Amino acid sequence: MPSQLSFTGFAWKNLWRRRLRTLLTLCGIGMAIGAFVALVGFSRSFEHEWQKLYSSSGTDIAVVDKNFMNTAVNQSLLGKVRAVPLVAQAEPMIFNIMDITPDVNALMFGWLEDSYEFNSLTFSSGSRFHNGKPELILGELLAKSQNKKVGDTIELEGSPFTVTGIYHGGTALEAGAIIMPLDQLQQLSSLQGKVSGFHVHLRPAPSGETTEHYLKRAQLQIEAALPGLNAQPAADRAANNQFVGLAHAVAWGTSGIALLMGILGIANTMAMSVFERTREIGILRAIGWKAWRVLLLIQVEATVLGFVGGFIGIGFGWAALYLLSTLPQTASIVSTSLSWDHLIEAMAISVLSGILAGAYPAWRGSHLSPVEALHHE
């Protein structure tokens, strides 16, 4: 069977003729897409872990101040939250981040010893802490990285705390966290009498009422009972809190810059390629290729770069996430699971980058006069 030449095969041969340049361009777009996959994947994973954190504990609504970072809600308001008819359980909580070694920081949660939020945790050793005592429990990821077991002590802000339990929870956030008595974290954070907010578990919705409507009704009741505070459905709270918002913004901003560099890389490669192949384009035009077919050829080459670069980028991105998930500094907030939506989005962005980057070189190449192109030196 004689060698068969297809249109896409021809495009691929054109790319492969300058292997080094093509590979460097693929690395460029691969790095850009890798940055997108890793950073946006990281921020989404962070959001996802927050959502799991709420859903696994059974929290339906988070009652917080206007600003999540402001932990100035009075703990004394707990009674008012619990008095709202639709509320089954309400727990005060403090959320914070603290350095536990110069290199490693950890998420800190302050709970009451009988909080319903313990329901989502399973103790692999030891048990709960006690209110009023310098005790804490460790997520197993953190316990492993810090080589701690039940009975050991951890020094926080100069004070020793005894590890009473090691747990594994449903989320990466919990697996890398410290949970301690609310009063102890208030003391460490100099926030006596204050909490980050209240987590609320609602009574079952009456039959016939949609979850959405029920949540809205509960929100209004809680906000009416606690003027000035926000009652937000847990899913909204997870998606819109400042930490997640900041992570999304940084991820998209950084990825955007990386993608721009990648697009410029492809555009440069294609522009150089068109310039170097001016005579060949003249030959194609001379033997009957229409301008749009030349345009399509160059555009296909750029798109192939975007497509292959997308695959490489997904590989880079996953590798970066894997690396981050093994580092003690980031293990608690990084998951290597990438959703299909995210991968498809990355491929679409990569292919679109190729199309965009190839547009001008393709237009230029297709508009060359056959005679001038043939005489090009």
Partner 1 sequence: MSSPQFEVRNLRKHYDDGRIEALRGVSLTIEAGEYIAISGASGSGKSTLLQLLGGLDTATSGEVLFEGATLGKTVDLDTYRAHRVGFIFQAFYLLPTLRAIDNVQVPMLAVPGDTKSRAERAEALLLELGLAHRLNQYPNELSAGERQRVAIARALANHPSVLLADEPTGNLDSVNSARIMEILTGIQKKRGMTLIIVTHENDIAHAAPRHIRIRDGRIEA
Rule CB under 8 A: is residue 4 a binding residue for partner 1?
yes
Q: What is the 3-state secondary structure (H, E, C) of the chain?
A: CCCCCCHHHHHHHHHHCCHHHHHHHHHHHHHHHHHHHHHHHHHHHHHHHHHHHHHHHCCCEEEECCCCCCCCEEHHHHHHHHCCCCEEEEEEEEEEEEECCCCCEEEEEEECCCCHHHHHCEEEEECCCCCCCCEEEEEHHHHHHHCCCCCCEEEECCEEEEEEEEEECCCHHHHCEEEEEHHHHHHHCCCCCEECEEEEEECCCCCCCCHHHHHHHHHHHHHHHCCCCEEEEHHHHHHHCHHHHHHHHHHHHHHHHHHHHHHHHHHHHHHHHHHHCHHHHHHHHHCCCCHHHHHHHHHHHHHHHHHHHHHHHHHHHHHHHHHHHHCCCCHHHCCCCCCHHHHHHHHHHHHHHHHHHHHHHHHHHHCCCHHHHHCCC
Residues 366 and 291 sit within 8 Å (Cβ to Cβ): yes
Neighbours of 232 (CB within 10 A): 22
Which residue in 69, 257, 344, 371 binds partner 1 (CB under 8 A)? 371
Q: Which stretch binds partner 1 (CB under 8 A): 59-67, 187-195, 236-244, 365-373?
A: 365-373
Rule CB under 8 A: is residue 275 a binding residue for partner 1?
no
Which residue in 27, 104, 291, 355 binds partner 1 (CB under 8 A)? 291
- CB nearer to partner 1: pick between 157 and 276: 276
Q: Which stretch binds partner 1 (CB under 8 A): 8-16, 149-157, 350-358, 359-367?
A: 8-16
- CB nearer to partner 1: pick between 182 and 302: 302
Rule CB under 8 A: is residue 3 a binding residue for partner 1?
yes
CB 12, min distance to partner 1, A:
10
Q: Which stretch binds partner 1 (CB under 8 A): 35-43, 115-123, 290-298, 335-343?
A: 290-298
Rule CB under 8 A: is residue 8 a binding residue for partner 1?
no
Q: How far apart are CA 317 and CA 45, in angstroms?
A: 13
CB 255, min distance to partner 1, A:
35
Q: Which stretch binds partner 1 (CB under 8 A): 2-10, 123-131, 154-162, 241-249?
A: 2-10
For residues 292 to 321, the per-residue mask of contacts with partner 1, x marking binding by CB under 8 A and - elsewhere, is: -x----------------------------
Which residue in 284, 298, 324, 346 binds partner 1 (CB under 8 A)? 284
Q: Which stretch binds partner 1 (CB under 8 A): 85-93, 138-146, 298-306, 364-372?
A: 364-372
Q: How far apart are CA 376 and CA 14, in angstroms?
A: 19
Rule CB under 8 A: is residue 17 a binding residue for partner 1?
yes
Q: How many residues bind partner 1 (CB under 8 A)?
A: 28
CB 263, min distance to partner 1, A:
26
Rule CB under 8 A: is residue 285 a binding residue for partner 1?
yes
Q: How far apart are CA 72 and CA 66, in angstroms?
A: 10
Which residue in 79, 85, 204, 288 binds partner 1 (CB under 8 A)? 288
CB 1, min distance to partner 1, A:
7
Give me the half-sphere count of Cα atoms (radius 13 Å) on the Cβ side of residue 105.
Answer: 6
- CB nearer to partner 1: pick between 112 and 296: 296
Q: Which stretch binds partner 1 (CB under 8 A): 3-11, 83-91, 165-173, 240-248?
A: 3-11
CB 284, min distance to partner 1, A:
7
Rule CB under 8 A: is residue 281 a binding residue for partner 1?
no
Rule CB under 8 A: is residue 2 a binding residue for partner 1?
yes
Token duo for residue 202: 């609602």
Pairing assessment for the beta strands 230-233 and 61-64 based on DSSP bridges: antiparallel
CB 29, min distance to partner 1, A:
22
Q: Which spans of this chain sit near partner 1 (rule: CB under 8 A)?
A: 1-7, 10, 13-14, 16-17, 279-280, 283-291, 293, 369-371, 374
